[in-house]
Amino acid sequence: MASQHTYSTDSKRHILPLRPSVKDYAWGIRGLDSRVARFALESGIIDEVDPDCPYAELWVGTHPSGPTLLRDGTTLEQSVGGPLPFLFKVLSAGKALSIQAHPCKEGAKELHKNNPTKYVDDNHKPELAVALTPFEAMCGFRRLEEIAILIKKHPEFAACISDESKLGVFLCGSTDEEDKKTALRALFQSFMSCPSETSSRQLKKLLKRLQREQSCDHVHPHEEPPWERKCSRAILRLAQQFPGDTGAMAPFLLNYLLIAPGESFYMAANEPHAYVAGEIIECMACSDNVVRAGLTPKFKDVDNLVSMLTYSMGGPTINAGTPAYGDDRIMRYTPPTGEFEVMVITCNPGEDITLPQLPVPAIFMVIEGSGSTDNEDGQRLVMRPGRSYLMPASCPVLTLSVNENKRGPLRIALAHENQHMDEPNL
């Protein structure tokens, strides 16, 4: 057990343990299968894990919807002298999140002004995700050429789109990106405004056909491109999770991705996405603004979503990180926004590694393994998965070490204000 001196709040230079905020949403993973639940239990913010509760998100930051505390009850915001520009999360998704996008700064101010109960702050919310497990997500619009193929192949999908919008897609042979975006916007708006009785009827017909085609008497799987096969299976899966929700047809419009552990992607403002399954660490600008349009019982704001999107096509860049500070055990994930970046630091058995000294406050969380720590103040921190700490600006450097007899590495995630804005890799 760490001593009280180790966790003394008397000095602004000491690294301090944190008590995050836990969120249970319907899409979370239930009970101890959820990393969020296990981390919440380890950090002491829950006394036991409810096997029926869908533990969805663990928040570390200063956002008023889930402020982080120190052990003495002081808020993280009080400790650092103001709000942090980022919000750090662990996310455990057992089923799909809503089809959504996050507004830009100007859009967020307008949404908050017009509807402050649904849009609780006026900040933008670009976000970065790093996979902890294999992670499935729908991110960004498909290429117009792919959508055209799917319209021709699936008459039920085509029946939910106006003839004018379909014609605009088929005739858009131009290489001009703005022409393609105009055609895509018209198509998406037409699909989202399709009368519910029509879209519900077509969804039922689509599901019946896809289920029949998945049977053993259908064509050999090699006769169908893998991306089309994956799209059909995703629709069947989403329809099981959200019966009757025509958002299950979203894979016809959005790229369906599988992200390996350690890989990351960045979602800029005004880009559509829906996380489907798996666990990630997430970092974003300090905001909780979400504009939703499907796969959710929550408030849907279709008109604002349609008007705010950029209609860029193609999926996000997938990146496994870039070595930082001259050490390939420190992998940085740097978005093109100033509020945040993330580093994942790995210390293998028999090794030690010194964390970089940063001129800004940072948050770090143990995400795997165990080990020991030391610095010039002699701080011996508890390093077990789920423990999170505040690292004050310019505090004494911390060294991690792992006994050579351990069977696996110690791995932590470190989040802070972006220190590599001139070297984004996402």
Max Cα distance, the chain (Å): 72
Half-sphere exposure of residue 55: CA atoms within 13 angstroms, side-chain side = 25
Secondary structure class of 350 (helix, strand, coil): coil
Of 166, 155, 83, give the one whose Cα is nearest residue 122: 83
Q: Are 25 and 56 in contact (CB under 8 A)?
A: yes
**Amino acid identity of 258?**
L
Please state, as a whole number, how many other Cβ atoms lie within 10 Å of the Cβ of residue 357. 14
Let me know if 52 is exposed, middle or buried by CB neighbors in 10 A (0-12, 13-18, 19+): exposed
Phi then psi for residue 190, to 5 deg, are -65, -45
Using N-to-C axis directions, what is the helix angle for 177-192 and 163-170, rounded to 10°?
160
Secondary structure class of 128 (helix, strand, coil): strand
- Whole-number Å distance between alpha carbons of 280 and 274: 13
Secondary structure class of 165 (helix, strand, coil): helix
In the annotation, is 292 catalytic? yes
Q: Which helix (H) or strand (E) holds 122?
A: none
- DSSP per-residue codes, 391-409: E-TTPPP-EEE--TT-SS-
Q: What would the two tokens of residue 294 be?
A: 């499907």
Beta-carbon contacts of 42 under 8 Å, excluding residues fewer than 6 positions away, are 384, 385, 386, 387
**Amino acid identity of 99?**
I
Beta-carbon contacts of 348 under 8 Å, excluding residues fewer than 6 positions away, are 329, 402, 409
Q: Are 249 and 294 in contact (CB under 8 A)?
A: no
Q: Which of 142, 292, 387, 411 is catalytic?
A: 292
Active site residues: 292
